[in-house]
Amino acid sequence: MNYGPRPWVQQHWDWRAAANFVCGGAGAGLVAFTALAALATGAAGAAVALLLVAGFALVGIGLGCVALELGRPLRALNVFRNPRTSWMSREAITATLLAAATLAAAWLFGTGAGTPSAGAAAAAGLAAALALGFVWCQARMVHAARGIPAWRSPATPPLMVATALTEGAGLWWLAAPWHGHGTRVALACFGVLVVARLFAWLAHRRSIAAHRRAAAALAPAGLALAVFGTLVPLALIAVAIALPDRAWVDRTAALAGAFAVAAGAGFKLALFLRGSFNQGFAVAHMPVRGTRPWPDGRRVG
């Protein structure tokens, strides 16, 4: 590593930390979209329960990857000690509450038939709120890294939240041919999330334009997000809405979901592994040994 005024890519968060944001964000987004879709459509049964469990399983995989990054994994329990000032502590606490709410909702939806009960609806609403809280904690944790221009941008939290929700909706639609709960309203909501993620990415790209190395490193992933993660899914969503056959609607929407998820995951990996340049450092006034400053700032021997 070359230290000096030229920025270099940070080495503290590797692929394991990136996996937490990729899997955790998509999993929390899946929990939120599944819960809200079940409440909106009145769907219940094993399919809703399995989607909720799958969403939190992704969150658990992400957190497990972070634990692998520690030299002493048992010290991961110390993350719960500082919720007043640490977004990482808040993320861990929210994940614990999310586990309880998601498993409770999955149990109530899985044992019920027809429309969800009042208890299942309450648990689903709580799980959706905690999933959104988990994504927000992740977003603020990235934003708190003040030494990384691509992370500390004020546009980073909205981008992280929009990406997580879009990926969650994409995963839900990817499973649509199996669960069969897709509606055109849910498809339109998916399209709105895809567009919202595009605008969040454009705002983020503008905010880091002055940091050329980070902007250049993120440009290929950003282009893929715009084309394969936005234009292609929107075209497929438009085709799916126009199709009369329900089976082909689900298949086309599933393809749109696959593109949206893959492009979002690729951009997040680039954000953490390739675009995470720090700002470097510079010495404004080189100190010279054996000199003292005059009151006006000049130095004499």
State pLDDT tens for residues 219-272. Answer: 999 999 999 999 999 999 999 999 888 889 999 999 999 999 999 999 999 999
The 10s digit of each residue's pLDDT in 135-149 is 999 999 999 988 899
Query: Which of 40-54, 159-173, 181-195, 197-211 shows the lowest mean pLDDT across its residues?
Result: 40-54
Least confident of 155-159, 234-238, 294-298: 294-298
Q: How far is CA 267 from CA 67, 227, 229, in A?
A: 23, 12, 10
Average model confidence (pLDDT) for the chain? Answer: 88
Domain boundaries, the chain: 14-144, 149-282
**From the CB of residue 294, how many other CB atoms can be counted at a distance below 10 Å?**
8
Establish how many alpha carbons lie within 13 A of residue 250's alpha carbon, considering only the half-sphere containing its beta carbon.
12
Give tens-digit pLDDT for 45-71: 889 999 999 999 999 999 988 877 766
Q: What is the pLDDT of residue 116?
A: 74
* Beta pairing partners, 277: 9
pLDDT-based confidence at 127, cuts 50/70/90? very high
Closest listed residue to residue 278, CA positions, set 153, 147, 141: 147
d(CA 61, CA 53): 12
Query: Tokens in use for 235?
Result: 């075209």
Q: What is the pLDDT of residue 55?
A: 96
What is the identity of the amino acid at 43? A
CB 264 within 8 A of CB 163: yes
Please tell me the pTM assigned to this model.
0.88
Cα angle 139, 142, 146; round to 5: 135
Q: Distance between CA atoms of 199 and 223, rounded to whole angstroms?
A: 13
Q: So what's the pLDDT on residue 78?
A: 75
**Residue with the larger pLDDT of the pair 5 and 26:** 26
- 80 confidence band (pLDDT: 50, 70, 90): confident
Angstrom CA distances, 7 to 200, 274, 277, stand at 25, 12, 6
CA-CA distance, 188 to 186, in Å (whole number)?
A: 5
What token pair was written down for 291? 């000199």
SS (H, E, C) the chain: CCCCCCCCECCCCCHHHHHHHHHHHHHHHHHHHHHHHHHHHCCCCHHHHHHHHHHHHHHHHHHHHHHHCCCCHHHHHHHHHCCCCCHHHHHHHHHHHHHHHHHHHHHHHHHCCCCCCHHHHHHHHHHHHHHHHHHHHHHHHHHCCCCCHHHHCCCHHHHHHHHHHHHHHHHHHHCHHHHCCCCHHHHHHHHHHHHHHHHHHHHHHHHCCCCHHHHHHHHHHHHHHHHHHHHHHHHHHHHHHHCCCHHHHHHHHHHHHHHHHHHHHHHHHHHHHCCCECCCCCCCCCCCCCCEECCCCCEEC
